[in-house]
Amino acid sequence: METGEIDSLAPPALDRVRFEDALRPLIDPAYRVAFAQLRDRGQAEDAVQEACFKAWRSFGKLRDQEAALRPWFFKIVTNECRMVRRGRWWQVVKLTDLPFPQPRSAADDAAANVDLRVELAKLGPEQRLLLFLYFGLDLPFEEIGPVVGLSAKAAKARLYRITRRLKPGLQVSEVSP
Amino acid sequence: MPTQLRRDVRAAFDAELEPSPQLAEWVFLAVAPKPSHRQLLNRMAAAVAVVAVVASAGYYAYRFGIPGVSPVSPAVDDGDALSVGTFVSGAKGWIVRRGAVNVRGQTGATAAVFETTDGGATWTERLRFKGQYDSMVFSPDGSKGVVWGQDDTAPSCTGPAPRCAPPLRPTLVYRTADGGRTWLKMPTPGETFFTGAFRSPDEGWLLTETAGYGPGDLNVQHTTDGGANWQAVGKVSFTGYKSFGITFGTASRSLVFADSLHGWLIPSTYTDASTPQLLATRDGGRTWRGLSLPLPPSLTGEVAANAPTIFGDGTGVLPVTVRTAAQKPQDPEPPSTVYVYPTADAGRTWGVPHLLFPTGSAQARETVVGLGGIWDFMDAKHWWVTNQTGTGGGPWAPRPHLLVTADGGQTWKTNANSPNISDLFFVSSTTGWAEDQTPSLFGGNINGLIRTTDGGAHWTRVEVPKIG
């Protein structure tokens, strides 16, 4: 039976409650992390869902380390996003995937923000991920580093370079933690 | 209060987001599956089958040496980070492990220095401290050594920048004079560590800052007694990570001294060809100037100087990476060309550069990707260069190449199926150590230690100890 197969892989029922309690607050941020990289609702949802399955099956290993749950889970999500991107080579490019979105209307956004959105759209997924983790989720570099596969120092240096590319006249204090 | 930049970036991400309010419900329904999720289970079963097939194929590829599969066994993730310290022979060397650092708000994780004297067969813990390791230097016989890093035990600032000031993160210096059996924690200047360099266990320099991360001027501190006494000898004018138009970062090995007077500060990014390529001092760090290297006249693009290596006889090399310009921001980092500047007077002057890989050679098409190539210039003749940064590509990427020369770059040999090397330490023309990277199941890489005794043609995995 299908549920039986899953249960044999999964931690006990009590852990399921713990898992749901621990992971539920992370689902929306994780979706935003995935969307920041993939820019496609369906793919971002799939990535989070697959990541949850993997997290569920490995949740037992994380016992007593719940403080590490967020970077661990975001790392799984990011890995899923990479898998999705790798799978894209055979897909038909949809018009909505074109990388330079137009502003919704002139009144919607200040010109500077439109420029920033266009510049963000030009960045690669890894660069967008780093920006989103730092600016969008306020994560410290000690937590960002493991998610992006870099040391905290290297993540900080890379973020600095990306931000300078986005805003050439940037004052450094704006990127400091 | 969030900064303007933070607000703008958030707003830009928010503007393109398509919300998915029901996602949490779907996810937890799927984790507790019902018969309607048959499709999901089928996908899982298919994934398990694919993993099994790939694992079998991988085993046979590894067993029979099929190109495309790493020639060394994978590094095992034991939860501790690994930094390769230094090696003085094929038998003797040091590594650093650091405990879990991926917990929010956790700072000052425990680091431990381990020593081997039998080529990595056994390891002895020599030093344990709380902080972030930067680098180490040992005397050739391994009796005297100094290990330095940053004391990051002060809590991080986790809120928006203006709400909390950057914490003081001073330098840590530990010194041994008996082969690592006992260590002294040396006094250090009460300022935040930026970068440091020791040219021997006795003489070293630190760049420190008073204002925390995002520095104003950097203070140059000098010691000639292994850190027992420090003297502030000068300043590097530093605004927004820039000095003389060059951007610098805090990476280790960004400061290099050839002798007591001559040193360089190495940039962390590319600059256009009209900007000086690195900072140089001729008076032990008292004064600094931008050093403009004579660039090939036909050069177009951006350049970045890498750390120079000065050999025992005063000769040396300064590799300079040249990157083609006009790349789109979303493209991967383009291949770079490397020029080597020679010196015969320990870096006081630099001669006419030549291409790392000679034009017309079989290796001329090899490229070093990105800034800070992974290479080891052991002496004027024996050089090893890997052709990719070693930080990406995943298990299915083409194998990196390790290029070896024994005549100062005139002719090269290519090892086309190299491990994914991220740092190299050769102690002789045949024996070397390297840090390699194994892609992790959850993204990122697991660092490991490998060793060669045939000049890099073959490598074997060296098991490293975990912090006990």
B81, closest residue in chain A (CA to CA): A151
Is residue B57 pLDDT above 50, yes or no? yes
Whether residue B330 and residue A99 make contact (CB cut-off 8 A), yes or no, is yes
Edge-first strand order for the sheet with B192-198 is B192-198, B204-209, B218-223, B231-236
Tokens of B127: 């030093």
- The answer for residues whose C-beta is within 8 angstroms of residue B385's C-beta and 6 or more apart is B356, B366, B368, B373, B374, B375, B402, B403
What residues of B are in contact with residue A160 (Cβ under 8 Å)?
241, 249
The pLDDT value given to residue B370: 58
The pLDDT of residue B32 is above 90: no
**Which of A140, A148, A163 is closest, CB to CB, to B158?**
A140
In angstroms, rounded to a whole number, what is the distance separating the alpha carbons of residues B147 and B134? 8
Angle at B376 between CA B255 and CA B112, to 5 degrees: 65
The tokens describing A120, both together, are 């963000």
| Residues within 8 A of B (CB atoms), A 34-73 only | 35-36, 39, 41, 44-45, 48-49, 52-53, 56, 65, 67-68, 70-72
Indicate yes or no: CB of B23 within 8 angstroms of CB of A147: no
| Helix (H) / strand (E) containing A149 | none
**Residue B35 — pLDDT band, cuts 50, 70, 90?**
very low
Nearest 10 degrees: Cα torsion B81, B86, B87, B88: -160
Instruction: Give residue B107's pLDDT.
Output: 62
Residue B371 CB-half CA count within 13 A: 22
Percent of chain B with pLDDT over 90: 42
Per-residue DSSP letters for B359-387? TTSGGGG--EESSS--EEE-SSS-EEEES
Contact B424, B434 (CB under 8 A): yes
Closest CA to B237 of B246, B226, B227: B246
pLDDT value at B312 more than 60: yes
Q: Which residues of A touch B169 (CB under 8 A)?
A: none
Q: Is the pLDDT of residue B450 over 70?
A: yes
Nearest to A132 by CA among B436, B164, B17: B17
* Res. B435: pLDDT tops 50: yes
Strand partners, B54: none
In the prediction, which pLDDT does B104 show? 41
Each residue of B119-149: pLDDT tens digit?
Answer: 999 999 999 999 889 999 999 999 999 999 9
Per CB-CB distance under 8 Å, the chain B contacts of A141 are 156
Check if A32 contacts B (Cβ < 8 Å): yes
pLDDT surpassing 50 at residue B39: yes
Residue B234 has a pLDDT of: 93
Q: How many angstroms away from the CA of B8 is the closest CA of chain A?
A: 6
Q: What is the mean pLDDT of residues B427-445?
A: 85
Angle at A22 between CA A20 and CA A23, to 5 degrees: 65
CA distance B41 to A5: 9
Calpha distance B128→B108 (Å, rounded):
12
pLDDT above 60 (res B251) = yes
Q: Considering only CB atoms, which chain B residues are within 8 Å of A76?
A: 442-443
- Which residue type occupies B132? Q
Chain A 87-126, residues with CB within 8 Å of chain B CB atoms: 99, 101, 109, 112-113, 116-117, 119-124
The answer to whether the CB of B17 falls within 8 A of the CB of A32 is yes
Q: Is B106 on the interface with A (CB under 8 A)?
A: yes
In sequence order, which residues have a C-beta less than 8 Å from that of residue B182 and are 6 or more positions away? B176
Check pLDDT > 50 for residue B313: yes
**pLDDT confidence of residue B72:** 86
Q: Give per-residue pLDDT as tens, B328-357.
A: 555 555 567 889 999 999 999 998 888 898
What one-character DSSP code corresponds to residue B166? P
What is the full per-residue pLDDT of chain A (177 aa) written as tens digits?
A: 333 333 334 455 556 777 788 888 889 999 999 999 988 888 888 889 888 888 887 777 766 566 678 888 899 999 888 887 776 544 333 333 333 334 334 444 444 456 777 778 888 888 889 989 988 888 888 888 888 888 888 888 888 888 877 766 554 444 544
Q: What is the pLDDT of residue A93?
A: 36
The reply to whether B243 touches chain A by the CB within 8 Å rule is no
**Residue A163 CB: number of other CB atoms within 10 A?**
21
B157-191 per-residue burial string, b: 16 or more CB within 10 A, e: under 16: beeebeeeebbebbbbbbbbbebbeebeebebbeb
Question: Residues near A30 by Cβ (< 8 Å), separated by ≥ 6?
Answer: A48, A51, A73, A74, A77
pLDDT of residue B64: 36
**How far is B170 from B50, CA to CA, in rounded Å?**
50
Nearest residue of B to residue A129 by CA position?
B13
A·B CB contacts under 8 A: 202
Residue whose C-alpha is closest to residue B321's, from B342, B345, B346, B295: B295
Helix (H, G, I), strand (E, B) or coil at B215: coil
Q: Is the pLDDT of residue B415 over 80?
A: yes
> For chain B, what is the mean pLDDT?
82
Quote the percentage of chain B above a pLDDT of 70: 80
Q: Is residue B395 very low, low, confident or very high in pLDDT (cuts 50, 70, 90)?
A: low
- Tell me which chain B residues have a C-beta less than 8 angstroms from the C-beta of A46: none
pLDDT at residue A96, as a whole number: 36
Cα angle value B276/B277/B283 (rounded, 5°): 85
Q: Is B445 on the interface with A (CB under 8 A)?
A: yes
Is the model's pLDDT at B454 over the cut of 90? yes
Range among A126-130, B253-257, B442-446, B457-461 rated most confident: B457-461
pLDDT at B111: 93
CB B263 within 8 A of CB B205: yes
Contact B156 A140 (CB under 8 A): yes
Query: A85 CB near a chain B CB, below 8 Å?
Result: no
